[in-house]
Structure 1
Amino acid sequence: MVQPDWVRVDPEQSLFVALLPGGHRDRLPEPEPSAAERLAGALACRRLSGPVLLEGDPGYDESRRVWNALVDHRPAAVVLCETEADVVAAVAAGREAGVDVGVRCGGHSIVGHSVPDGGLMVDLRRLSRVEVDPEARTATVQGGALLGALDRATEPYGLATTTGNVSHTGIGGLALGGGMGWLARQHGLTCDNLLGCRVVTADGRVVTASAKENPDLFWALRGGGGNFGVVTELTLRLHPVPQRVLSIEVEFPAEQAHGALARWRDLSRSAPREATFLLDVFGGVALLGVVWIGDLASGRAYAEEFLRFEGEPSEQVVEELTYLELQVREDTPQGSDARRYWKAFYLDDLPDDAVAALLGQDPGFAGSIVCHGGAIEDVPADATAFSHRSAAFEYVGAVRWEDPAEDVERVRWGRRQATGLAAHASGTYVNTVGGTGSHPVRSSYSGTTLERLRRVKRDWDPENLFHLNHNIEPA
């Protein structure tokens, strides 16, 4: 091609042209469309029941606002899915445009995986229906439903299943990563109560995953997170629960709590399955507690034994709650206006030096522990993708702040605070990982489980379309 003498814009055709020697014209290649333009074109070619939000549209900023205010990502487009067909169309558009695809429900990922910067957010929150079959003791839940919706739907029948402790968490994300809650020591994790799923795959199919259909995918979905597709529906096993439960709490000044915390640890090792031990250290105090879900008379007898601590506590409280009250009591402190950093991991034991490290954390840093065991450990290690079934304790250390100017220093400070206890870590829980990269994935799964997950990923998402998660790369 003859090189042009000069280039100008043709105002009539609005494209670049070159004036060549001899008066000939030749068009230069048009510039490649941006990712946002490719995505807009891909979405425009598809019928969607729900609206598509672009930056500047009403509702756009609300849609990208998630639980951790530290996350300030701006998707190129947000599809508010109203049907499963919308999910299929959105996934196809994201794949065609070659952009990052994030899937939003409760938005509780600490690192903001559901909000793809410059990519496509598939927002499931309008898919929130919950249907209960009290005879079969099952609940069928759409992928955008929150924990509170499930609890409210099952409560009239005296039924429930293991869910988390903050009611505005999404059921889908919780179940796919594992799902710890007050019923876990009696009935297993959320993923252990998962009977089947409907899944939109990377190539646009809608498949069922259960023990009988696509069992390899079903195995991976129970602990492997959102790596394998978009779950649009879950069927969960339900269990009878009492209408009233018992909460037992005793508070000590942190500097005087070494003996009390050691006793709390020792009691937890032989606790009945109705009892879930919990611990919070913050603001210079240690709050040692038990949640009892079972016969109330037995619970009150256990409370008398539990409360026999040496020394004088600052406060102790034994109170009855409804199960629904228990499920929402942590909602306010877990609101979505704060900036957050977490450091979380499992512990196989809590030796005395770990107790000292926990109590020695800065009063502005909140350290929490909940005890595992019971039915969680009953499930064979290879039955699901969830690893660390033998872990005794789950630890989360957290720092919260509001000023964006403090971001870097607060995160550094939070990492330092958890260092002493991290020396005793035995692995991580994929739903509470506060960082990115390959290390959290390796520490969340055993070697054999991770290799099997990589093979399932290869079979169901070989191009790694669903990589905005704690990513398992295809084998």
Structure 2
Amino acid sequence: MTLLLMHPDHPGYEAARRVWNGMVDRRPRVIARCSSEADVVAAVRLARDLDLEIGVRCGGHNAAGFAVPEDGLMLDLGGLAGVRVDPERRRAWVGGGALLGALDIASQAHGLATTAGNVSHTGVGGLTLGGGMGWLARQHGLACDNVESYRVVTADGEVVVARRDEHPDLFWALRGGGGNFGVVTEFEFRLHPVGTRALAAEFTFDPSADVMRRWRDLSRLAPREATFDASFKNGDSLTLGFVWVGDPERGKLLLPAMADLGAARSSTVTELSYVELQTRDDSVQRHDVRRYSAGHYLPELTDAAIDAFLAVDGDLRPNVGLQAYGGAIADVPDEDAAFSFRGTEFEYGAGMSWTDPAEDADRMAAARRTAARLARTPRACTSTRWPTRARRACAGRTRRRSWRG
């Protein structure tokens, strides 16, 4: 066993407690850096003995910083970061502390991939346990829809394997229910033969509800290889486009319709590898920046929602964005997994990033105000459903919260 325990006087403690969102400044009583499943078992049992809250760190990307419990035990899975791929069976076994980039690189060596998020230094565990949206989701479902099995250390310090026919309630809950059901030390993913190429198209317009409505209507007709996305930055730059994973020549067939949306200020069409696609936002989403965001799942991008998306209020203007759902995401019945919102048409987010702590209150208020404006439109979806089955899966397994980020 190689469990490393760091207390506040340990020379590596300050760096170890830092996570992606620079606003998170909590101090665990102890940080347990694990390199094996046995280490995880020992850390969970230590937390029970000391009656400490547990937070689980994978990549540390959770914006709320759930991985860092104040005066609790922070369980760092960075030492369980291995990825093993079987290209014949199209399976990947991924350690609970692995980052998305490691999964992408290992699977793309064989022209395979599974749904993962859009920033390579995000943790596989935190993303997957929350559902897991990415550029492949419309083709192959969310990240959680592609998990065959989970190895889990329960709150009792026992190790179980959860799959559809073994511990089925726990398997159901881990598919989008978050990290409150135990510590996942290994995920088994299905992989898909997606090739290695992608296409990204971006058309920038003057703000126009009419143009955006035509873009929305085009999205509803798009093949599953295309994920439409939009951003409205600084209240004056509207970018509409799509990402295509697969043969770029097929993706280019959508370009004439994009050009017909209206008179664009500029347009960019980029052919790139899938790995390049997955890393292109890494620097924008770098660590050590203060961040806040608010968002919604929209069952329908209505005309009223588009008007609210383009509205400008005040001097502080959050960047707002949309990413299309549908396709294979909606193929999965709501009752099949803890992740709800299968009928989502677009996911909406309003976010801000900054460096000066003195700006915290104003920046957060601006993001909330912007998101609330859209929530007031008809057909806005803002609440999470927790059916009885989730409570049943949790019963007896989680006697203290175990957050993952």
Provide the TM-score with structure 2 as the length reference: 0.96
1: CA distance between counterparts of 2:136 and 2:404? 26
Distance 2:301 2:328 in 1: 20
**2:169 maps to 1:232:** no
> Retained in 2: the 8 A contact 1:78–1:122?
yes
Alignment equivalent of 1:453, drawn from 376, 385, 390: 390
Question: For 1:261, which of 193, 199, 212 is the aligned residue?
Answer: 212
Correspondence for 1:119: 72
Q: Secondary structure at the match of 2:26?
A: coil
User: In 1, are the aligned partners of 2:58 and 2:76 still within 8 Å (CA)?
Assistant: yes
The one-letter amino acid paired with 2:238 is A
1:466 aligns with 2:401: yes
**For 2:252, which of 300, 303, 313 is the aligned residue?**
300
- Measure, in 1, the Cα distance between the counterparts of 2:175 and 2:302: 31
- Distance in 2 separating the partners of 1:173 and 1:203: 21
The match for 1:319 is 270
Change (3 A) 1:133 1:468: closer
- 2:125 paired with 1:172: yes
* Structure 2 letter corresponding to 1:267: L
Alignment of 1:17-28 (within 5 A): none
Which secondary structure does the structure 1 equivalent of 2:22 belong to?
A: coil
- 1:379 deviation in Å? 0.9
Matched, 1:368 2:303: no
* Cα offset, 1:322, TM superposition: 0.5
CA shift digits 1:83-134 (9 cap, x unpaired): 1111001001111111111000111111110001111100001110000000
**Residues 182 and 402, structure 2, Cα contact 8 Å, conserved in 1:** no
How many aligned residue pairs are there?
401
Q: Percent identity?
A: 50
Tell me if structure 2 keeps the 8 A contact 1:391–1:426: no
1:41-52 equivalences in 2 (<5 Å): 48-52=1-5
* Distance apart, 1:80 and its partner CA: 0.7
| Paired residues for 1:56-75 under 5 Å | 56-75=9-28
Is 1:136 aligned with 2:89? yes
Structure 2 CA distance for aligned equivalents of residues 351 and 225 of structure 1: 30
User: How much has 1:450 moved relative to structure 2?
Assistant: 2.3
Residue 62 (structure 2) aligned to one of 109, 131, 137: 109
Offset, 1:469: 6.6
The answer to whether the Cα contact below 8 Å between 1:227 and 1:466 also exists between their aligned partners in 2 is yes
Name the SS of the counterpart of 2:109 in structure 1: helix
Q: Does 1:404 align with 2:357?
A: yes
Contact 1:81 1:124 in 2 (8 A): yes
Hey, what does 1:432 align to over in structure 2?
none
Moved more, 115-124 or 416-425: 416-425
Match of 2:44 among 91, 102, 113: 91
* Higher RCO structure (Cα 8 Å, ≥6 apart): 2
Deviation per residue, 1:355-378 (Å, 9 max, x gap): 121111357311010000000011
Aligned equivalents of 1:340 and 1:298: distance in 2?
A: 37
Amino acid at match of 2:257: E
**Higher mean C-alpha displacement, 354-363 vs 144-153:** 354-363
> 2:310 maps to what in 1?
359
What is residue 31 of structure 2 aligned with on the other side?
78
Query: Which deviations, in whole Å up to 9, do the C-alpha atoms of 1:126-165 show, x marking residues without a partner?
Result: 1100000000000000000000000011111000000000
CA displacement, residues 178-215 of structure 1 (integer Å, 9 cap, x when unaligned)? 11000000000001100001000000100000112111
| Worse overlay, 417-426 or 125-134 | 417-426
Judge conservation of contact 2:196–2:246 (CA < 8 Å) in 1.
no
d(CA) in 2 for partners of 1:301, 1:266: 16
AA paired with 1:218? F
Deviation for aligned residue 1:426: 4.1
Query: Which one-letter code corresponds to 2:269 in the other structure?
Result: V
Q: Distance in 1 between matches of 2:153 and 2:217?
A: 46
SS in 2 for 1:125: coil
Q: In 1, are the aligned partners of 2:349 and 2:371 still within 8 Å (CA)?
A: no
The residue identity in structure 2 corresponding to 1:294 is: G
Question: Any idea what SS the aligned residue of 2:204 has?
Answer: strand
Q: Secondary structure at the match of 1:180?
A: coil
CA distance in 2, matches of 1:132, 1:122: 26
Deviations 1:218-256 (A, max 9, x none): 1111011101100000000000112211111100123xx
Residues 349 and 393, structure 1, Cα contact 8 Å, conserved in 2: yes
* Aligned-partner SS, 1:459: coil
Shift of 1:56: 3.0
- Does residue 286 (structure 1) correspond to residue 238 (structure 2)? The answer is yes
1:241-260 equivalent positions in 2, closer than 5 A:
241-254=194-207, 257-260=208-211
Alpha-carbon distance in structure 2 between the residues aligned to 1:467 and 1:199: 12
Describe the superposition over 1:284-335 as per-residue Cα deviations: whole angstroms up to 9, x where unpaired. Answer: 201101111123222111222222122x211101110100000001111111
The one-letter code sitting in structure 2 at the alignment partner of 1:293 is V
CA contact (8 A) 1:102 1:114 kept: yes
What is the match of residue 40 of structure 1?
none
1:413 shift after superposition? 2.1
Q: Quick check: 347-356 or 101-110, which moved more? A: 347-356
Question: Post-superposition shift, 1:385?
Answer: 1.1
Name the SS for the 2:179 alignment partner: helix
Equivalent residue for 1:158, pick from 94, 111, 115: 111
Alpha-carbon distance in structure 1 between the residues aligned to 2:247 and 2:370: 39
CA shift digits 1:419-464 (9 cap, x unpaired): 2112246445xxxxxxxxxxxxxx222xxx5221011111322x2x
2:395 equivalent to 1:444:
no
What amino acid maps onto 1:276 in structure 2? T
Unaligned runs of 5+ in 1: 1-47, 429-442, 471-475
Aligned-pair Cα RMSD in Å: 1.5
Aligned to 1:309: 261
Larger radius of gyration: 1
Distance (Å, rounded) in 1 between the aligned partners of 2:381 and 2:302 = 16
Q: What CA distance in whole angstroms lies between the structure 2 residues aligned with 1:426 and 1:162?
A: 26
